[in-house]
């Protein structure tokens, strides 16, 4: 039975096509069918890292979504059942900051004033109102994902699984409560993890005073230790100085004063000086100095205001003398080790405490110039210069962070590192260098993870402490209900804060610790928490863990990838994913971070409405982003994808449909062709199928995408162009081969360009084919026979010969329509080309003969085109020119492919009149003053 093919428009409106395809998918529930039609025992597990509900998608999140769609589509077509459920990160500072702005809250204390309940209620409302806009973007980049059953980290079931995980890890001795110096946000009044500031936008460049301070020695009133610092506020409480015992120090004289500093740092001295002594830093240990301030009156303590030896002191920057205070990781460890008074003079919102009487209540950074002015006035500043450097800021509110001592809860990553490094070896990283580079180094250098937050909107710390010292760590709602005797309706604050446990030891009431968990604990718990494991779906979780595939951008190596790896190793002694594709970062058109204030990137929604989803997908998937590199976003890249992939594919498809309809083509079950071009095209297609499968299996998305354009070039500029006469002449073999090539090609690219693949498939498919291209099986390659491999190699030679012939024509200024007599090919050894291949060269180069010669002295192939034009050749060239002009007039007039026409022309070579009539479908050829086409 002959199939009717829908006529194809010459110009394709890609966004309009996308809308039609989306309607088809939705109406026919193709996404659901793509899962349901695959066997339940052929699972392919994919984890989707949940985005925060704040804001709308940007190019970075769209890149991740595309990468998360391409691979599941591919494995679905390979016969796998791929569950794809959306998730939302609902807790943490991102949401709290938005709600604070809405309620005009400036400080954490203001939340306590309005009441935690009101604040939490606003957080609930905010989360409920912000997510729907995502669906438009996700649909229009062609991503299939289940929004209806999306998991939310704020859901009770999810939070219970997080509670279970906490207890499991705690019971293994991997969670502890302690005091440690770590990053702290004064605005949010909560700790910040090291890996959070390793993400983008977590550092800013600032210029501030770089000061060298003078510390007078108690035993030598005219001798000073010189110490360099950029934190004047921290000089208000400096109970100790540190030197490196192994470094060489010098005592120099300038004027009437003596200064001590590391020998290697003398270049920072201003003016002439005289070196009076040289010694190792060990000699300075125990030396007493006069403090700048003694607000806390600790001068009488034996360990205060002394010099200590410390290996962390270097001469790389500063003076080789370090001021010791509570606000530094190394400082704090030294203070604990040596019993130095630990004094915290800044409160948890960044304001100086009452003891700092001159500046009590002032923000710590605002007192910097005042402190330096006071010390300079007292002659205790040696020098002050401007210093530009990067400082960490809060990843959400952008407040400058401070290193501060904190009572917090930590997950002992230090105890897991060996296991984490071992299981990392089981992960396939793309690109490979991430495995032993960024990710491995991140594990090696990682501190223990501060998992508690002094905040409100998050999963509660499931810990209840009694005044008698008894502690209850709870791992389920059922357990908490049993311990408390109360029904648990909600796990959020403030409700959970009201739940108490009667202490078995003293009969008192154990109360919950007020902290909530770092929201990254929830993100890292996603593999099991989204399924409410272990309380439900036990088999489903175990069958899907570790995931077969995840993908995010490079910063997640220190964030989501990392926290999943920590928690999976802590809970299951396992990695949590088998394959991971790490993308680079999309920058603005000017190379800077994308920012509305810079106006340096095209609006994503407008881009999709202008170019369509496939253009963005192909542009991003072919870019170095998928190899871990960065790019500057630009529309030209999308336009290039349209020009080099989508339009050539569309035009090839349109070309075939026009002749299939004209000749009433009927698809055959098998392809049998004796034509050399057909044979080559099918072998070339098989080669593409093999390479695409290999690269997609290996998660090499960029390399796979980059195969498409060269193939389309071979198809359109070689196979179709060299087969035109066969299509015009209703050659069944040519029609069948091109049909099979197109049908196979759109299946190959369906994961990458799902919209156009579907549009073309719907017109090409027969009743025997599946409903959607995305329900089809992915093409599989046949084993190439030796003769087929030779054909691929020989065709490369043929095309190279033709390319050289075209180059020589261009150099001579002779157009291709002008026939030439011959081309001579001279090689070291004999070239064996059969008749059809020689005929290809003749037709492509428009020559009458191809002559092959051998010359054993040659090292390279030599090609020589005979450019002499005889009268007969010129006449034939004129005839070909006229045919081209008539064909152009046919297109302008909208003639049907088989429509006969009448042509009036001033002149033509009489000996080629029949040729002109045949090639241009001319019924009558009439003499006239100018070239005119008439339709009958």
Active site residues: 50, 89, 520, 556, 560, 593, 596
Residue closest to 284 by CA, chosen among 300, 264, 260: 260
Place of tokens 């070896």: 425
Q: Which long-range contacts (CB under 8 A, 24 or more apart) does 52-55 make?
A: 52/88, 52/89, 52/90, 52/92, 52/94, 52/95, 53/88, 53/89, 53/90, 53/95, 53/126, 53/127, 53/130, 53/131, 54/94, 54/95, 54/98, 54/130, 55/130
3-state secondary structure 157-213: HHHHHHHHHHHHHHHCCCEEEEEEEEEEECCCCEECCHHHHCCCCCEEEEEEEEEEE
Contacts 24+ apart (CB under 8 A), 441-445: 442/195, 442/198, 442/557, 442/558, 442/562, 443/417, 443/562, 443/565, 444/417
Question: Three-state DSSP class for 751?
Answer: coil
φ, ψ (nearest 5 deg) of residue 222: -100, 5
Q: Judge whether 555 and 438 are in contact, CB under 8 Å.
A: no
Calpha distance 875→444 (Å, rounded): 79
CA distance between the termini of the chain: 32
Q: CB of 307 within 8 A of CB of 382?
A: no
Are 472 and 501 spatial neighbours (Cβ–Cβ below 8 Å)?
yes
825, 850 contact by CB (below 8 A)? yes
Q: Which of 332, 341, 324, 330 is nearest to 178 (CA)?
A: 332
CB atoms within 10 A of CB 883: 20
H-helix or E-strand spanning residue 298: none
Assess contact for 433 and 627: CB atoms under 8 A. no
Asked whether 35 and 76 are in contact (CB, 8 A), the reply is yes
Closest of 174, 155, 172 to residue 477, by C-alpha: 155
User: What is the Cα–Cα distance from 811 to 33, expressed in whole angstroms?
Assistant: 58
DSSP 361: T
CA atoms within 13 A on the CB side of 338: 27
- 738 and 685 Cβ atoms separated by less than 8 Å: no
SS3 readout for 667-693 = CCCCCCCCCHHHHHHHHHHHHHHHHHH
Q: Kindly report the CA angle at 204 between 198 and 206, in degrees rounded to 5?
A: 140
Instruction: Say how far apart CA 184 and CA 189 lie, in whole Å.
Output: 7
Q: Which two tokens stand for residue 232?
A: 């004047």
Give kind and range of the element (H or E) at residue 880: helix 871-893
Backbone angles phi, psi at 812, to 5 degrees: -80, -10
Tokens of 330: 């190394």
**269-272-277-283 Cα dihedral, nearest 10 degrees:** -10
- The DSSP annotation for 835-858 comes to HHHHHHHHHHHTEEEEEEEE-TT-
Instruction: Give phi and psi for 183, each to the nearest 5.
Output: -65, 140
For residue 84, give the H/E element and its range. Answer: none
Beta strands in 37-101 (DSSP E): 43-44, 81-82, 85-88
């Amino acid at each position: 039975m002959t199939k009717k093919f829908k006529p194809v428009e010459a110009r394709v409106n890609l966004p309009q096509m996308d809308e039609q395809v989306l309607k088809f998918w939705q109406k026919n529930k193709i996404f659901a069918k793509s899962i349901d039609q695959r066997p339940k025992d052929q699972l392919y597990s994919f984890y989707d890292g949940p985005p925060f509900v704040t804001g709308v998608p940007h190019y970075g999140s769209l890149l991740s979504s595309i990468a998360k769609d391409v691979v599941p589509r591919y494995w679905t077509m390979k016969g796998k059942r791929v569950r794809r459920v959306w998730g939302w990160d609902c807790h943490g500072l991102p949401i709290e900051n938005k709600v604070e702005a809405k309620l005009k809250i400036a400080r954490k204390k203001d939340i306590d004033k309005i009441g935690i309940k009101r604040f939490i209620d606003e957080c609930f409302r905010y989360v409920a109102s912000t997510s729907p806009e995502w669906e438009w973007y996700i649909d229009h980049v062609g991503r299939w994902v289940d929004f209806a059953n999306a998991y939310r980290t704020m859901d009770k079931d999810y939070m219970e699984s997080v509670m279970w995980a906490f207890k499991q890890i705690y019971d293994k001795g991997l969670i502890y409560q302690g005091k440690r110096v770590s990053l702290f946000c004064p605005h949010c009044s909560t700790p910040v993890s090291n890996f959070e500031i390793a993400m983008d936008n977590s550092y800013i460049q600032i210029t501030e005073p770089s000061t060298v301070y003078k510390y007078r020695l108690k035993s030598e009133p005219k001798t000073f230790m010189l110490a360099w610092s950029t934190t004047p506020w921290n000089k208000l409480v400096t109970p100790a100085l540190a030197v490196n015992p192994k470094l060489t120090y010098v005592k120099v004289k300038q004027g009437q004063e003596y200064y001590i500093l590391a020998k290697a740092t003398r270049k920072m001295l201003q003016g002439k000086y005289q070196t009076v002594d040289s010694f190792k830093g060990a000699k300075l240990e125990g030396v007493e100095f006069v403090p700048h301030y003694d607000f806390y009156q600790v001068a009488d303590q034996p360990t205060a205001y002394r010099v200590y030896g410390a290996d962390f002191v270097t001469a790389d920057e500063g003076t080789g003398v370090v001021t010791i205070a509570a606000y530094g990781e190394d400082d704090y460890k030294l203070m604990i080790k040596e019993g130095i008074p630990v004094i915290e003079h800044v409160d948890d919102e960044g304001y100086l405490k009452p003891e700092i009487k001159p500046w009590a209540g002032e923000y710590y950074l605002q007192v910097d110039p005042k402190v330096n002015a006071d010390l300079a006035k007292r002659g205790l500043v040696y020098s002050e210069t401007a210093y530009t450097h990067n400082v960490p800021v809060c990843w959400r509110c952008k407040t400058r962070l401070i290193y501060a001592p904190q009572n917090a809860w930590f997950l002992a990553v230090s105890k897991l590192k060996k296991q984490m490094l071992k299981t990392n070896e089981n992960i396939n990283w793309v690109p490979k260098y991430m495995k032993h580079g960024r990710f491995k180094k991140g594990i090696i250098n990682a501190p223990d993870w501060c998992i508690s937050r002094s905040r409100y909107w998050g999963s509660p710390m499931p810990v209840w402490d009694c005044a008698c010292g008894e502690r209850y760590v709870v791992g389920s709602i059922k357990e908490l209900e049993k311990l408390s005797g109360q029904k648990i309706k909600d796990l959020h604050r403030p409700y959970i804060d009201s739940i108490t446990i009667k202490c078995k030891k003293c009969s008192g009431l154990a109360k919950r610790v007020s902290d909530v968990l770092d929201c990254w604990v929830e993100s890292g718990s996603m593999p099991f928490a989204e399924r409410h494991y272990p309380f439900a779906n036990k088999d489903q979780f175990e069958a899907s863990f570790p995931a077969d595939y995840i993908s995010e951008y490079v910063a997640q190596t220190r964030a989501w990838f990392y926290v999943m790896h920590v928690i999976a190793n802590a809970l299951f002694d396992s990695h949590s994913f088998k394959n991971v594709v790490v993308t680079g970062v999309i920058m603005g058109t000017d190379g800077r971070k994308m920012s509305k204030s810079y106006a340096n990137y095209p609006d994503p929604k407008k881009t999709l409405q202008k170019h369509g989803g496939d253009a963005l997908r192909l542009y991003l998937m072919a870019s170095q982003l998928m190899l871990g590199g960065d790019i500057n976003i630009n529309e030209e890249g999308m336009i290039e994808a349209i020009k080099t992939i989508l339009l050539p594919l569309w035009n090839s498809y349109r070309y075939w449909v026009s002749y299939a309809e004209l000749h009433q083509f009927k698809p055959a079950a098998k392809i049998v062709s004796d034509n050399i071009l057909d044979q080559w095209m099918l072998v070339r297609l098989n080669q593409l199928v093999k390479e695409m499968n290999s690269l997609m299996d290996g998660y090499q998305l960029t390399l796979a995408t980059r195969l498409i354009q060269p193939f389309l070039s071979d198809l359109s500029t070689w196979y179709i162009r060299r087969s035109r006469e066969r299509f015009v002449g209703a050659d069944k073999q040519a029609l069948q081969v091109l049909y099979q090539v197109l049908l196979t090609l759109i299946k190959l690219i369906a994961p990458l360009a799902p919209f156009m693949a579907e549009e073309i498939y719907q017109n090409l498919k027969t009743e025997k084919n599946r409903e959607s291209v995305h329900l089809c099986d992915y093409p599989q390659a046949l084993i190439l026979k030796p003769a087929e491999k030779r054909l691929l190699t020989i065709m490369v030679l043929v095309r190279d010969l033709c390319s050289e012939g075209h180059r020589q024509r261009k150099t001579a200024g002779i157009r291709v329509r002008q026939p030439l007599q011959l081309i001579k090919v001279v090689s070291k050894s004999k070239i064996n080309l059969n008749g059809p291949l020689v005929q290809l060269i003749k037709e492509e180069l428009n020559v009458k003969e191809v002559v092959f010669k051998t010359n054993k002295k040659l090292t390279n192939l030599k090609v020589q085109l005979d450019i002499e034009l005889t009268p007969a050749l010129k006449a034939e060239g004129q005839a070909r020119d006229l045919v081209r002009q008539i064909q152009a007039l046919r297109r302008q007039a909208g003639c049907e492919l088989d429509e006969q026409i009448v042509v009036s022309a001033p002149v033509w070579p009489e000996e080629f009149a029949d040729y002109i009539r045949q090639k241009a479908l001319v019924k009558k050829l009439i003499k006239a003053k100018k070239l005119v086409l008439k339709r009958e």
